[in-house]
């Protein structure tokens, strides 16, 4: 077991070694079994779950809450979210018994300096995502060694070949639902009686910021087709495409 000091997110070499060890230990696991293995490992107290409280988020949150309701849940409020998403966050947190949901926001000084007219999303969506999402998350993750993501391979694009365990800069990233299908997610919603995101019934199958999310046609369009529609953009920037293999074959290092 690595010491707490050696697992600092500022020590990429130690994090890389720990990721390879962890990947070997959880090989073949997913969902609850994988979450339990990591939340009760030496990473306990050094791991956060990052959630958008979007249309599929309730499943991962429910699985984590059953194992450790006090796991820190990091929620990025960009200042441009749908009100429905904020209310859904509160509803799910209360229903699932999550006790440490942390809302992250961009620095007011960044908003004033970088987006004074509130239209940066139109001029440069990447720059808007960077200061509203990437920077607040990186500040929050400085206190952690690892974080849990709800991404899945069936989302396609840069997610089609996601590993279960990856290293993103100096953090271990865990993807417990990477192999889950849309059908399996829907079945778990029904089995648990989880509430749907209120915008899903209105055609929003993936919900981000209000100006950059549109409705999609179920069954004929990719679930994330409504995100940044018409732009050559598929990710906000908090996730980086895997760019190589390090150690165990299930560990990839993001560029």
Pairing type for strands 171-174 and 146-148 reads parallel
Q: Where are the domains of the chain?
A: 5-254
CA distance 148 to 79: 23
CA distance 108 to 68: 33
Q: What is the CA radius of gyration of the chain?
A: 18
137-141's contacts with Cβ under 8 Å and 24+ in sequence apart are 137/50, 137/74, 137/76, 137/104, 137/238, 139/104, 140/48, 140/74, 140/102, 140/104, 141/9, 141/48, 141/74, 141/171
Tokens of 194: 């989880």
| 139: three-class secondary structure by DSSP | helix
- pLDDT tens track, the chain, 255 positions: 333 433 445 577 788 888 999 999 999 999 999 999 999 988 899 999 999 999 899 999 999 999 999 999 999 999 999 999 999 999 999 999 999 999 999 999 999 999 999 999 888 888 988 899 889 999 999 999 999 999 888 876 666 678 899 988 788 999 999 999 989 999 999 999 999 999 988 877 778 888 777 777 666 666 656 565 566 655 665 666 543 333 334 445 554
- Which positions ≥6 away from 168 have C-beta within 8 Å? 239, 240, 253, 254
Instruction: Decide: 226 and 204 in contact? Cβ < 8 Å.
Output: yes
CATH class of the domain whose range is 5-254: alpha beta
What pTM value is reported for the model?
A: 0.85
The answer to whether residue 236 is catalytic is yes
The label of the residue with tokens 């906000």 reads 236
């Amino acid at each position: 077991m690595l010491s707490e000091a050696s697992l600092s997110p500022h020590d990429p070499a130690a994090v890389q070694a720990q990721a390879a060890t962890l990947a070997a230990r959880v090989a073949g696991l997913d969902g609850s079994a994988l979450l339990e293995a990591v939340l009760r490992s030496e990473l306990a107290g050094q791991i956060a779950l990052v959630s958008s409280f979007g249309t599929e988020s309730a499943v991962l949150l429910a699985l984590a809450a059953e194992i450790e309701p006090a796991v820190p849940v990091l929620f990025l409020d960009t200042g441009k979210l749908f009100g429905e998403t904020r209310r859904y966050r509160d509803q799910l947190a209360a229903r699932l018994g999550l006790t440490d949901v942390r809302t992250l926001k961009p620095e007011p000084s960044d908003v004033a300096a970088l987006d004074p007219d509130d239209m940066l999303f139109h001029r440069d969506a990447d720059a808007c995502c960077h200061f509203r999402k990437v920077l607040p998350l990186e500040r929050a993750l400085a206190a952690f060694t690892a974080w849990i993501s709800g991404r899945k391979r069936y989302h396609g694009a840069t997610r089609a070949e996601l590993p279960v365990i990856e290293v993103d800069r100096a953090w271990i990233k865990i993807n417990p639902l990477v192999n889950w299908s849309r059908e399996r997610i829907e079945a778990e919603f029904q089995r648990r009686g989880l509430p749907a995101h209120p915008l899903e019934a209105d055609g929003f199958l993936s919900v981000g910021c209000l100006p950059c999310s549109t409705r999609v046609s179920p069954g004929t369009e990719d679930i994330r087709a409504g995100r940044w529609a018409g732009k050559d953009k598929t990710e906000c920037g908090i996730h980086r495409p895997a760019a190589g293999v390090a150690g165990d074959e299930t560990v990839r290092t993001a560029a």
